[in-house]
Amino acid sequence: MDLTLEHARALDAADPLAAHRDRFVHHDDVVYLDGNSLGRLPRATPDALAHVVREQWGAGLIRSWPAWLEEARSTADLLGRVVLGVDAGQVHVGDSTTVSLYRLAVAAVRARPGRTRILVEADAFPTDLYVLDGVARDHGMELVRIDAPIDDGVRDEHLVPLLDDTVALVCLSQVHYRSGALLDLAGLTALAHDVGALVLWDLCHSAGAVEVPLAASGADLAVGCTYKYLNAGPGAPAFSYVRADLLPTMRSPIQGWFAQTDQFAMAPGFDPVAGIDRIAAGTPDVRGIVAVREGVRTIEAAGVQALREKGSALGAYVVALADAWLEPLGFRVASPRDDALRGAHVVLEHPEAWQACQAWIDAGVVPDFRTPDRLRIGLAALTTSFEDVWTGLDRLRTIVGIGAHHGYSTERGRVT
Ligand SMILES: Cc1ncc(COP(=O)(O)O)c(C=O)c1O
């Protein structure tokens, strides 16, 4: 591959998504390689939020609720159609990913009474491990960790030996947060279904970055956040997916009034609606939902397939530059090299990654750091250019090449 800056610019010139970059706010010339942690601000979002606050809240006051409830439903369906490729009525938007995961995990184990085990990837995102540990304890179940190499993630051979009819639930991330490994959602779901288990997918690092074959695979349940590739902003509400035919069997542990049939009858007994809102809890975060709508519209304008293609191309470009420039400096590509097995972030491991990360930030590049020694390079197809990648990795090779990172603390903390 041609590794010159001119070639990076030529790749940008030929990029069919290049024009989408202008739909986002770019304040300074920072090289932002962290769109997989917090996506950029869409230009349309501030005005959309101002409308909700000034007109609908300020002027409309409580009379705006019918429109807000309609907004909550239509945004959930929009996200389902655009990002997850599923029919309406199966997605709920609200609460955090952590709360959503808890809610669906409990509903799932309740739907498989008598089964005693929950399986989770050993290197799952910590909140998933914590939540499932609590769910297992509270239900007298065993939490079993699926061991798999971090870089490549869970494949059939890691899951199959653990599957039998004692398994109620399997929880996996479609794209692994620490390596970018992209799992076979359809194949792993089918294996779990063979023993009658339900599967709950964490889509935080895949929604808006890769195709999510929920419908085609008959996947059961999924959750994900909206502040990464969906560009809905810090703390924006998460989404939950429940396959329509499972809804009657899903009983949320949070029996809130927004799930109640004829909510304003104010009846004392809980009688949830039949549809997806049976997993709702309390009053929806309207401002957050409007930000989700605007974020999802940025995905809709490009299409998930085009995003996936560009994300793969950017990833392959990172790997090529890393092999040529960074491998001689002690870096190792800690993500699958095969584009088909990798999501939209690439991880570089280096024994001094923590120091390199701080020096990199001071050099105007924003990456992410993940333990133990990993620099995570997020490639948000809508906003990351090939030139960003070239410039970012060029600065990293300079820093580590001259040892500038040695001037930084080895004491770890939060950098981004
Ligand atoms: C894979 C994964 N799962 C779960 C979470 C937790 O999300 P939240 O903080 O929105 O509950 C994150 C957050 O980054 C994540 O990356």
Question: What are the residue boundaries of the structural domains of the chain, listed by start?
Answer: 5-32+303-407, 46-301
| Distances, alpha carbon 164 to alpha carbons 108, 142, 160, 189, in Å | 16, 14, 9, 14
Note the pLDDT of residue 36.
87
- What distance in angstroms lies between residue 38's CA and the mean position of ligand 1's atoms? 11
DSSP alpha helix (H) spans, 14-125: 44-50, 65-79, 97-110
Could you tell me how many residues make up the chain?
416
CATH of 46-301, one of 3.30.420.40, 3.40.50.620, 3.40.640.10, 3.40.50.1370: 3.40.640.10
| Distances, alpha carbon 31 to alpha carbons 28, 222, 319, in Å | 9, 32, 18
Is the minimum distance from the CB of 205 to ligand 1 under 6 angstroms?
Answer: yes
- What distance in angstroms lies between residue 127's CA and the mean position of ligand 1's atoms? 7
Domain range 5-32+303-407, CATH architecture:
Alpha-Beta Complex (3.90)
Among residues 28, 83, 4, 32, the alpha carbon closest in space to that of 384 is found at 32
- Give residue for tokens 């939209």: 344
Is the minimum distance from the CB of 344 to ligand 1 under 6 angstroms?
Answer: no
Q: Which residues of the chain have pLDDT under 50?
A: none
Separation between Cα atoms, residue 253 and residue 169, nearest integer Å: 16
Note the pLDDT of residue 414.
64
Note the pLDDT of residue 413.
75
Is the minimum distance from the CB of 204 to ligand 1 under 6 angstroms?
Answer: yes
Note the pLDDT of residue 374.
96
Beta bridge partners of 333: 348
What is the set of active-site residues?
125, 202, 227-228, 376
Is the minimum distance from the CB of 64 to ligand 1 under 6 angstroms?
Answer: no
Asked whether 31 and 366 are in contact (CB, 8 A), the reply is: yes
- What distance in angstroms lies between residue 94's CA and the mean position of ligand 1's atoms? 14
Note the pLDDT of residue 389.
98
- What distance in angstroms lies between residue 137's CA and the mean position of ligand 1's atoms? 21
Separation between Cα atoms, residue 126 and residue 143, nearest integer Å: 14
Note the pLDDT of residue 1.
87
Return the ligand 1 atom nearest residue 235 CA.
Answer: 10
Note the pLDDT of residue 28.
85
